[in-house]
Amino acid sequence: MTLDIVRFIAEKRDGREHDEASLRGFVAGVASGAVPDYQVAAWCMAAYLRGLSPTETAVLTHAMALSGETVDLSSIPGVKGDKHSSGGVGDKATLVAAPLAAAAGVPVAKLSGRGLGHTGGTIDKLESIPGFRSALSIDDFVAQVRSVGLAVAAATERLVPADKRLYAIRDVTATVDSLPLIASSIMSKKIAGGADVIVLDVKVGAGAFVRELDRARELARAMIDLGRRLGRRVAAVLSNMDQPLGYAVGNALEVAEAAAALRGEGPADLVELSLELAGRLVTLATGEDAAAARRRLEGLLRDGSAAERLRRMIAAQGGDARVVDEPWRLPQAPHVREAAAPEAGYVARLDALRVAEVALSLGAGRRRKEDAVDPAVGVVLAKKVGDAVERGEPWARVHARTPEAAEAAAAALQAALALSAQPVPRPPLVHEVLEERLSPALVSDPRCLPRPDRVASGRSSPP
């Protein structure tokens, strides 16, 4: 159909609901470039102010998912899983949860992004491993999920191009912060990724995209609803991001910490969250009782099966799998400086956003898409909220490229720390878990939109 774009924008400006055909026509025009930036921007603002109904959000998501390449995992036996984080600081849970779920028999296929701004990206972390290749063709990605049970690769430019353009325009028109637009942006990429079951780690707090629990819950519900409408089982874990996850913030430092967790050496919060995320993937995929799945996963962590799965994935993607056991093989920063506690007390706050800003200033992340990241630098905390600290005791260490950078970062880091004279309770790690199981009746309901990986005819091309 030919879309009357001015009428389409006016429809949303006036708070009316789009029909499916015009919404799909709009997304096609966004992906092809036929709709110019100023009209896309006008629609984004109208959608931001007027909102989108759940049906509109589902159609938008589905149309975006189909706007480029899609991954067809249907040739791999079993129920395939994917995991997504809304972005955190020190969030290396994918590197622990994905091998755990794979070791438990759920093939995990994850297309991931690079970090931008204060949150890190899994691909940047993995690329700190010598030799690791994150750019896989879709055929190689699918083949690896089949043979290893686990692949984490970079999402190509051709995956969901409509979202890439829409997001870039939202970013410069103050329209990012709209729940239906965020939910459709995230879920379109998950739908295009081809997995049957998806676990979303929705971060809440100072270092997260969403700071309030109510809003995180609303976003999680919107994404679960999209999964239900588009034939995917989705669970959302709402987890605390007031302080970094684990102790390490920085690419190679985080890989080393994730490997330690897989070797049974903690840290406790990373292990706990990873067990929760992997457990949800297993229960969604198999219907296994949550307590039984948890026990099984703990066993797979203890007996080394999950670590072995990560080694196999790294080796399959050309990386040096010895880093899982020998972290000194990862890039090391030449200068390490301690940040010392100014007085004795209990850690009351470790501001994740400030820690991330310091890591970013050291070069661990990128402010603009084109920036290169330094794999070796970052921050390693020695304390977490609730811990006691002595005056002068190091509560963190910065890993830097130059002595000047180390000095400056150690000083800047002090603003992230707040101490209390009174004992401080440890904050909750997981606020709540939301999920909705897809009933067989719904799967076969003709009103349910078709699955993209059935609609798309196995298009694939190298990245």
Residues 6+ apart with CB under 8 A from 236: 199, 200, 201, 202, 220, 221, 223, 224, 433, 434, 435
Binding mask 172-201 for ligand URA (x = CB under 6 A): ----x----xx--xx---------------
Q: Judged by CB, which is closer to ligand URA: 181, or 281?
A: 181
Decide if 189 is catalytic. yes
CB of 175 to ligand URA, least distance (A): 10
Binding mask 257-286 for ligand URA (x = CB under 6 A): ------------------------------
* Residue with the shortest CB distance to ligand URA: 185
Tokens for 92, please give them: 């290396």
Decide if 185 is catalytic. yes
The separation between CA 384 and the C-alpha centre of its own chain, rounded to angstroms, equals: 22
Is 157 in contact with 392 (CB distance < 8 Å)? Answer: no
Q: Which of 72, 82, 163, 201 is catalytic?
A: 163
CB of 312 to ligand URA, least distance (A): 29
Q: Judged by CB, which is closer to ligand URA: 65, or 259?
A: 65
In Å, the largest CA–CA distance within the chain is 70
Q: Residue type for 340, please?
A: A
Q: Judged by CB, which is closer to ligand URA: 182, or 341?
A: 182
CA angle 101, 453, 179 (to 5 degrees): 75
Euclidean distance between CA atoms 430 and 236, whole angstroms: 11
CB of 408 to ligand URA, least distance (A): 30
Q: Which of residues 204-233 bind ligand URA (CB under 6 A)?
A: 209
Decide if 163 is catalytic. yes
CA angle 308, 433, 303 (to 5 degrees): 20
CB of 43 to ligand URA, least distance (A): 15
CB of 342 to ligand URA, least distance (A): 36
Residues 6+ apart with CB under 8 A from 2: 25
Q: Judged by CB, which is closer to ligand URA: 170, or 383?
A: 170
Q: Which of 85, 185, 188, 361 is catalytic?
A: 185
Q: Judged by CB, which is closer to ligand URA: 7, or 368?
A: 368
Q: Which of residues 140-169 bind ligand URA (CB under 6 A)?
A: 167
Q: Which of residues 379-438 bind ligand URA (CB under 6 A)?
A: none
Direct distance between the N- and C-terminal alpha carbons of the chain, in angstroms, rounded to an integer: 31
Q: Which of 12, 18, 84, 164 is catalytic?
A: 84
Residues 6+ apart with CB under 8 A from 439: none
In 205-334, at which residue ranges do the beta strands (DSSP E only) sit?
Answer: 233-240, 248-249
Please give the size of the binding site for ligand URA, defined by CB under 6 A.
7
Encode 395-418: b = buried (16+ Cβ within 10 Å), e = exposed.
bbbbbbeeeebbebbbebbeebbe
> Which pairing describes strands 233-240 and 197-204: parallel, antiparallel, or unpaired?
parallel
The residues annotated with a catalytic role in the active site are 84, 163, 170, 185, 189
Residues near ligand URA (CB under 6 A) are: 167, 176, 181-182, 185-186, 209
